[in-house]
Amino acid sequence: MSKPIRLAVVAALAVALIPSIGPAQLGHDTLRNAPVTEEPPAPRLPTVENRDLRRMRAYPMQPPTIPHKIDDYQLDLNANKCMSCHSRVRTADTQAPMISVTHYQDRDGNFLAELSPRRYFCTQCHVPQTEVKPLVGNEFIDVDQLIRRQRSGSR
């Protein structure tokens, strides 16, 4: 077969096959739980956790999650609401945990007097949590468990 004809056959096959391998036809369970042609009702908006109880970090370097609501907290070039409690100078008044010292360092490790601009937008790393069942499973194993498993195996 010459190249144009081969291309045409491949294209025709692709077009013919696409509808037949849709997730609904294959019986795949999608996250929307409905065929593509149907519009399922939107799930309820989940409640944001507001208990002020800190969650454990899944791994040592994980940015801690936010254990409270941050609705309408302004976080832009003009104002940073988070820092009116979590900055070094405010913690005595508010008893909020201070942002870590790494946030007062620039990328070369030099210490700054103020929050480093590259750390300014808190919600890039820190997010509030909602009370929902995870949509997909998770096989993450804590490094602690890994080490413990390894040690008990070698013994």
Partner 1 sequence: MSRKLFGLVRSGWKTLSRPSRYYSLGFLSIGGFVCGILFWGGFNTALELTNTEPFCISCHEMRSNVYQELQGTIHFTNRSGVRATCPDCHVPHDWTDKIARKMQASKEVWGWLFGTINTREKFLDHRLEMAMREWRRLKANDSLECRNCHAFEYMDFTRQSPRAERAHIRGLQQAGLTCIDCHKGIAHDLPPMEGIEGWDLSPRGQATSMR
* 65 part of the interface to partner 1, by CB under 8 A: no
> Should residue 124 be labelled a site residue for partner 1 when binding is judged by CB under 8 A?
no
Query: Residue 54 Cβ, how far from partner 1 at the closest point, in Å?
Result: 12
Contact predicate 63/125, CB 8 Å: yes
Output 19 or 117, the one with its CB closest to partner 1. 117
Of 61, 45, 69, 54, nearest to 123 (Cα)? 69
Length of the chain: 155
Other C-beta atoms lying within 10 Å of the C-beta of residue 116: 16
Give 130's strand partners.
48
Establish if 114 lies at the interface with partner 1 (CB under 8 A). yes
Q: Is 54 in the site for partner 1 (CB under 8 A)?
A: no
Per-residue tokens: 4 = 């144009």
Is 52 a binder of partner 1 (CB under 8 A)? Answer: yes
Residue 67 CB, shortest distance to partner 1, in Å, is 9
Interaction of residue 66 with partner 1, rule CB under 8 A: no
Residues 6+ away with beta carbon under 8 Å from 2: none
DSSP state, residue 22: S
Contact status: 68 vs partner 1 (CB under 8 A)? yes
List residues near partner 1 by CB under 8 A.
Answer: 50-52, 68-69, 71-72, 74, 77-81, 83-84, 87, 89-90, 93-95, 106-108, 112, 114-118, 120
